[in-house]
Amino acid sequence: MQACHLSATDLACRRGDRVLFRGFGMDLEAGTALHITGSNGIGKTSLMRILAGLLTPYEGHVKREGAIGLMDEHPALDPQVQLSDGLAFWSAIDGSKDCEETVHILGLDELMDVPFRFLSTGQRKRAALARLVNQDAPIWLLDEPLNGLDVDAKEQTESLIALHCDEGGICVIASHQTVRLPRAQSISLEEYAL
C-alpha cells in the first residue's frame, strides 16, 4: 500500500450565502478510519468534496499524501456499457489488476454482461465499490456507502473497509447510518455547525 496521510485544519465550508460549519479539523494516519456523522444538510457531502480537492474550503486547508478514491452518489461507470466493460475501462486507466476476485466477493459475477443503467440501486453501489477497491488508492472517501445495500452487502462493505485499513489505508465515511467498524473514530459535524 502506498504511504498515506490525510489532515484538515480549521476548515470552514460555505455554500451559497451560508457558512455551514467552521473550525473542523482531523488528522488521519495510515490504517485509520473516521466516521463523520450529522443530520441531512449539515454538510457531510460538502466536507467530502473538500477533502477530495473538488471543492475549495471557505477557510482552512487540507493536506493529502496518497491517491484519493472517492465513492459518492455519482458512480463513474458508463451507463451505456455492460459492467465488465465499465470496470475494464477503469482498470486500464488506473493500471490496476483485473478485479475478478472483488467482483466475486461483491456478488457481481452474474451481472457483468448487464449494462450499468439496468442495475438496481444496490447493485450499482456494489459495482462502484468494486471499482474503488480495484483503484488501489490508499485514501478512501466514502459518501453514504451503505445506502441502498442489503444486510449482506452492508457487512461485506464494512469488511472491505476494515481490510483496507488493516492493510494501511485510510477511510473516511460520511453517513448518518450506523457503520460497524469497531476501531473507527467518529466525529459529529453538528459540533462545527453554525
Ligand X SMILES: Nc1ncnc2c1ncn2[C@@H]1O[C@H](COP(=O)(O)OP(=O)(O)OP(=O)(O)O)[C@@H](O)[C@H]1O
Q: Does 20 bind ligand X (CB under 6 A)?
A: yes
The number of CA neighbours under 13 Å toward the Cβ of 57 is 21
Which residue bears the cell 456494489?
A: 126
Within residues 157-186, the interface with ligand X by CB under 6 A covers 176
Give, rounded to a whole angstrom, the gap between the first and last alpha carbons of the chain. Answer: 38
Q: Does 74 bind ligand X (CB under 6 A)?
A: no
Residues 46, 102, 134, 157: which binds ligand X (CB under 6 A)? 46
Residues 7, 9, 45, 156: which binds ligand X (CB under 6 A)? 45
Q: Does 42 bind ligand X (CB under 6 A)?
A: yes
Q: Does 38 bind ligand X (CB under 6 A)?
A: yes
- Report, in angstroms and rounded to the nearest whole number, the Rg of the chain calculated over CA atoms: 17
Residue 29 CB neighbours (<10 A): 11
Nearest to 22 by CA among 49, 39, 48, 42: 42
Residues 3, 40, 80, 95: which binds ligand X (CB under 6 A)? 40
Taking the least distance from each CB to ligand X, the nearer of 41 and 79 is 41
Shortest Å, Cβ 73 to ligand X:
8
**Exposed/middle/buried for residue 55 (C-beta within 10 Å: 0-12, 13-18, 19+):** middle
Shortest Å, Cβ 43 to ligand X:
4
Shortest Å, Cβ 134 to ligand X:
26
Rounded distance between C-alpha atoms, residue 27 and residue 178, angstroms = 22
Contact positions vs ligand X (CB under 6 A):
15-16, 20, 38, 40-46, 176
